[in-house]
Homo-oligomer: A and B are copies of this chain.
Amino acid sequence: MNQQELIQKISEEMDELGIKQIKSPAKVKIERPGPINKPSDLAPYIEHTILKPEATRDQIVKLCKEAKEFGFKGVCVNPIYIEEAKKQLKGTDLIVNTVIGFPLGAGISRVKAEEVREAVKAGANELDMVIQVGLLKGKEYKLVYEDIKAVVEAAGPIPVKVILETCLLDESEKIAGCILAMRAGASFVKTATGFSKGGATIEDIRLMRAVVGGSLGVKASGGIRDYQTAKAMVEAAANRIGCSASVEIVKG
């Protein structure tokens, strides 16, 4: 069975389970800021990211300063630092992105929804949630779908990215994860948390794009540390890059 046939087959399995396409409530334009001819062309693709638990407030302030200086799309921080990041980026059009059920995804859906509401109240512009990886691997598709849908509905107009943690999944599971995210109204699919065994690969970006088509964004994240890798991700179809080595990357 080729990839396209496999996607078709898994789609039909989802149909049989009654997993319906919902209309996404999010207001988002899926952008591709332009071709990459030099390192600084990557800046509008980049969410400058610090998610390590030991990050202090001072490091978040520095992150925001760098995001403004280098013209990144925005920053990605843990929920406790959303308010600080909003304050630092006030008066700019940089986004503050945060993470939900991160990085294991193994939380209760109602709690993820509450985390969304608190994050939005604190000022988050976008949300990256982690899929329930174990339930996906156990083929408990309906539960995985309901989990994403609960987050999407709590987020309303705020776009939701669904992190698949691709390094833990085989090809069929990656495809199933993308279909579930799409049907549950997510705006993006995203590769990895950066806290597991591996990160973004070119093959995964291509596979994810093949499943979601042109209607969803694809965010590459996990282990992207240099210009060549970041450029290759964008050229393989990524709309967004999540990384911490952003300054090094755009300096080339």
Residues of A at under 8 Å CB distance from B?
A: 51, 53-59, 78-81, 102-108, 110-111, 114-115, 118-119, 122, 130, 132-135, 137-138, 140, 165, 168, 195-196
Residues on B with beta carbons closer than 8 Å to the beta carbon of A114: 110-111, 114
Q: Which residues of B contact A103 (CB under 8 A)?
A: 53, 103-104, 195
- CA of A115 to CA of B130, assembled, Å: 16
For the complex, give the distance between the alpha carbons of A34 and B159 in Å.
Answer: 54
Residue of B78, B80, B122, B133 touching A53 (CB-CB under 8 A): B133
B134 touches A80 (CB 8 A): yes
Do B57 and A111 touch (CB < 8 A)? no
Contact B110 A58 (CB under 8 A): no
Contact assessment for A54 and B134 in the assembled complex, using a CB-CB cutoff below 8 Å: yes
Q: Name 26 A/B residue pairs within 8 A (Cβ), A-sorted.
A: A51-B104, A51-B106, A53-B104, A53-B106, A53-B133, A53-B134, A53-B168, A54-B133, A54-B137, A54-B165, A54-B168, A56-B134, A56-B138, A80-B108, A80-B132, A80-B134, A80-B135, A81-B106, A102-B104, A103-B195, A108-B115, A110-B114, A111-B111, A111-B115, A111-B118, A114-B114
CB distance from A78 to the nearest CB of B (A): 3
Do B130 and A53 touch across chains, with their CB atoms under 8 A apart?
yes
Question: Chain B residue with minimal CB distance to A147?
Answer: B80
The chain B residue with its CB closest to the CB of A107 is B79
A109 (CB) vs chain B CBs: closest residue: B80
4 smallest CB-CB distances across A and B, nearest first, come from A78-B106, A56-B138, A53-B133, A53-B104
Given A54-B134, A133-B53, A134-B56, A110 contacting B118 (CB threshold 8 A)? yes
Q: How far is the CA of A78 from the CA of B108 in the complex (A)?
A: 9
Residue from B56, B79, B138 in contact with A57 in the complex, judged by beta carbons closer than 8 Å: B138
Assuming the contacts A54-B168, A195-B195, asked whether A108 and B122 have C-beta atoms less than 8 A apart, the reply is: yes
Kindly report which residue of chain B lies nearest to residue A102, judged by CB atoms.
B104
Q: Are B57 and A134 in contact (CB under 8 A)?
A: yes
